Chains A and B, each alone.
Chain A
C-alpha cells in the first residue's frame, strides 16, 4: 500500500521533471499505424458513412497501410450517391473523395450531371459550406475524369462572393446573414477559393489573390501558441482546436498549391503547427486521428515550407551503460530529410542556466542508421537532467526556402548514473546527544538493525549521497517511514545539511504524533530520483519504542486507510435468510386422521338411527312445508357460501351474499318456526 503510494509518487515526480524541460516531438511512427488499423475498423464490411469511409481510407493511404477490402460496400454506396440526382453537395463531396481513393469507374454522364448541378449550386449558393462542398466536388471531378467540363465560367464572381464573407481579422463567416466569424470557416473558405482558382477558366486577377494572401497572413496573427513552440488555431465555438487547425492547414496548403507565386509565411509557425499535430500523440477517436494525419500529410508536401523534426530516440542516457547521444532529423511523417548537419550548440544542466558543459560541436552522421550521434559524452557530464540545444543546418542553401528547420531546438535529456551511498548509520541518542547505540548501515544491500528507545531518547539516521563525479547528490525523495505493528505509519522527510543527509527523531516531541503507541516500529528508507539508477525503497530494520501511557484526552490513532479498491468496489452480497418451512407430517398420517375424523360422524349417524330420529314435527300442510324446505335450502346455501369463501371468494363479496341469504333465511325461518311454535302451543293447550 504505502510502497505503492511511494512508487506512484516517484512516477509523478518523474513526469513533472520531464514536463519541466522542453519536450521532444517524435515523428509519425509505427505506433500510429497500429493505432490507425485498430481505430478505423469497418463495421460489417463498410463504414457508417462515406465521410468516415473517406477518413479511414485517407488515413490508411497516408500511413501506407493496405486498406481493408471495403471496395464493394463503399463503392456501391458511392455509386448510388453519385447516381441519385437528389444527393446533397456534402454527400457528393465525400462520395467523390472516396472515389478518388477507391477509383471506381463512374461513367462520364454521371459526372456531367453532377457537375452541372454543382455549378448551379455554386452560382446560387449563399452559405459557405455549400460553396465549399460544391467547389470541392468540382475539383475532385476535375481530377478524376479529365474530359468533363468543370471550369467555372465566372470564377471572379464566385471568388468575390466567397471573399465577401471574410472578416477584417482574417476569419470568415459561414454565410452572409450570419455575423458569427470563425477560424474554421476561414480554413474552408481558403480551400474553396483555392478550388475556384484551380477551376477558373480565365485568370483570376492578382489583386484578389493578394487580398487573400493578406487575409491568410492576418489569420496567422491570431494564432495561439504553447510554451513548447507548438502553435495552433483556436475556435471559440463548437470546433476543437485540432479540427480548426486542420481546416486552416488544408486551406493553406491547397491555396499554396494553386497560387503561382509563394506566399510568405514564417517557417517557425509552420514548424509550430507540425509540432502541434505531433504533440497530440495518438488521438483516441477517428475524427482527431484523421485530422492529425491528414494535416500532417498536407504539411509534409506543402509548397510553403516543409517542417523538419529533430527527434531523439532516447532522452535518457545512462552513464553506467555509456549510452551515445543520438539525434534523428526527419519530416513529420518520418520520411528521411535532405542532407543536414546537426550541431550540438550547447548543453547545460536544466536547473541552472550556467555555462555550457559541452563544447559546441557537430554530431557525426551514420549513413545506414541515419542517426547523428555524439560518440561519447564528455567526462564532465554528471548525473542530472540537462538541456541540449541542437541546430539543424541544411547543406545546400536552396533547401532553405523549402524546408523549415526552426533554428535551434532545445531538448531535455536525463543523464542517469549510480549514486553511491556511504557512511550511512543509524543511532539512538540520549537526550543530551550522547550516543547510546549506533549501527552502521549498508544501504546498498539488505540490513536488519534492531534498536530500542524510550520516549526520552532520539533516533538519528544519517548518510551521504555522492554522484560518480563526487558531487553531493540531492534526490527528489528522501523519506523515512516508521510503521507500527498496528499498521499506523508515519513518514518523515529526511533533510540534508551540507553534504550529509540526516534526520533526528526526538520521540519526546513525537509521542502525541505517535498516539502513544509503544512497540516495535519498522523503519523503511526511501531514496529516489529520476536520474538515480539505484533508487531504492528499503526496510532497514526495526526500532522498539516504549512510550508513556496515553493520557485521557490523547488523540486516538486514525482508522486504517481502507483499500480504495475495497471501498469503491462491489459490496459483499447480502444473503437473505428466509424462514425455514415447517416440516409437514407424512401424507398417509394425515389421511389416516382424516379417516379417523369420519368415525364420530358415523357414530353420530348411527346414534341418530338408533334413537330413531323422527320428522313428525316437519309440517305436513303445503305452505309451511315449503317454508321448512326453503329454510333448510337456505342453510345449505349459506354453508356452501362459506365453502366458497374458504376456497376463493374474499370477505366483502361473501358478506354481501351472506346479507342477501340472511334476509331470506330470517324471513323463511321466522315463518316456519312461528308455525311450529303455534302448533306446539296448540298441542300444549289441547
Chain B
C-alpha cells in the first residue's frame, strides 16, 4: 500500500517515527488504563515464564500446568476486557459505568479462580 517497501532506511526511520508517536500516544492514556496495562503485562509475562518452564521440564502435572497458564491468560484477557470497557475513547460503552464494568470484572475473576482452584488438583 505505502512506501515502506521502497528502501530499508525509510522503513527504519518510519519505525522510529512510529515508536515516537506510539510513546506519545500512549503517554496520553490515563493512569488507570496504564495500571491495567501494567497488570496485563504482569500476567502475560508470568504466563510466558510458565511456558518456558514447561518447555524446559515438561508439563507433567498437566492440570496444574494448564491451570497456571490459563489463570494468567484469563486474568490478562479479563483485564483487557475491563480496559476496553472503562476506556473513555471507546464509543461503544458510553452507557456502561466503569464501576459496573469493575463489578463484572470482579465477578468474572472470582468464577475464573474458583474453577482454577478446582482444576489445580
Binding site for B on A (CB under 8 A): 582-585, 589-590, 593, 596-597, 599-601, 603-604, 607-608, 611-614, 635, 638-639, 642-643, 645-646, 651, 654, 658, 662, 665, 669-670, 673-674, 676-677, 680
Contact = CB atoms under 8 A, between A and B. Distances in A.
Given A593-B53, A600-B45, 14 more contacts: A584-B60, A589-B57, A600-B42, A601-B46, A603-B45, A611-B35, A613-B31, A639-B113, A646-B120, A662-B110, A665-B106, A669-B103, A669-B106, A676-B99
Contacts of A584: 60
B19 to A, nearest CB: 20
Given A589-B57, A608-B35, A608-B38, A642 B49 contact: no
Contact of B35 (A596, A613, A677): A613
Contact of B117 (A582, A646, A680): A646
Nearest to A581: B60
Contacts of A639: 113
Contacts of A585: 56-58
Contacts of A673: 99-100, 102-103
A531 B120 CA distance: 86
Given A603-B42, A604-B39, A645 B103 contact: no
Q: Which of B34, B60, B117 has the most CB of A within 10 A?
A: B117
Contacts of A608: 35, 38
A654 B118 CA distance: 10
B18 interface: no
B118 A651 contact: yes
A611 B117 contact: no
Interface string B38-62: 1101110110011001001110100
Contacts of A597: 46, 49-50
Contact of B97 (A600, A642, A677): A677
Interface string B61-104: 00000000000000000000000000000000000011110110
Contact of A638 (B35, B43, B97, B110): B110
A370 to B, nearest CB: 91
B34 A611 contact: yes
A611 B38 contact: yes
A662 B39 CA distance: 25
B113 A642 contact: yes
Contacts of B57: 585, 589-590
Most buried by A among B41, B97, B98, B99: B99
A601 B38 CA distance: 10
Contact of A611 (B31, B45, B53, B113): B31
17 contacts: A585-B56, A589-B57, A590-B57, A593-B53, A599-B45, A600-B41, A603-B42, A604-B42, A613-B35, A639-B113, A645-B117, A651-B118, A654-B114, A669-B106, A670-B103, A674-B99, A676-B99
Contacts of A638: 110
A665 B102 CA distance: 13
Interface of B: 31, 34-35, 38-39, 41-43, 45-46, 49-50, 53, 56-58, 60, 97-100, 102-103, 106, 110, 113-114, 117-118, 120
A658 B113 CA distance: 12
B49 A593 contact: yes
Contacts of B45: 599-600, 603
Contacts of B60: 582-584
Contacts of B106: 635, 665, 669
A654 B115 CA distance: 12
B56 A658 contact: no
A670 B110 CA distance: 16
Contacts of A669: 103, 106
Contact of B99 (A601, A612, A635, A677): A677
B46 to A, nearest CB: 5
| Closest A-B pairs by Cβ, 3 of them | A673-B99, A604-B42, A585-B57
A673 B86 CA distance: 14
Contact of B56 (A589, A600, A613, A614): A589
A600 B35 contact: no
Contacts of A680: 97-99
A682 to B, nearest CB: 13
A638 B113 CA distance: 10
A604 B38 contact: yes
Nearest to B99: A673
A121 B43 CA distance: 104
Given A585-B57, A597-B49, A642-B114, A607 B99 contact: no
B31 A600 contact: no
Contact of A642 (B41, B99, B103, B117): B117
Contacts of B117: 642-643, 645-646
Contact of A614 (B31, B43, B100): B31
B35 to A, nearest CB: 6
A599 B103 CA distance: 29
Contacts of A603: 41-42, 45
A649 to B, nearest CB: 10
Contacts of A646: 117, 120
A59 B111 CA distance: 90
A590 B64 CA distance: 14
A679 to B, nearest CB: 10
A613 B35 CA distance: 8
A60 B58 CA distance: 82
A608 B114 CA distance: 27
B38 A596 contact: no
A641 B120 CA distance: 15
Nearest to B102: A673
B40 to A, nearest CB: 10
Given A597-B46, A677-B99, A658 B114 contact: yes
A329 B56 CA distance: 99
B98 to A, nearest CB: 8
A20 B90 CA distance: 117
A244 to B, nearest CB: 77
A584 B64 CA distance: 13
Given A607-B38, A677-B99, A612 B31 contact: yes
Contacts of B49: 593, 596-597, 599-600
A635 B113 CA distance: 12
A614 B49 CA distance: 30
Contacts of B35: 608, 611, 613
A631 to B, nearest CB: 9
A495 to B, nearest CB: 78
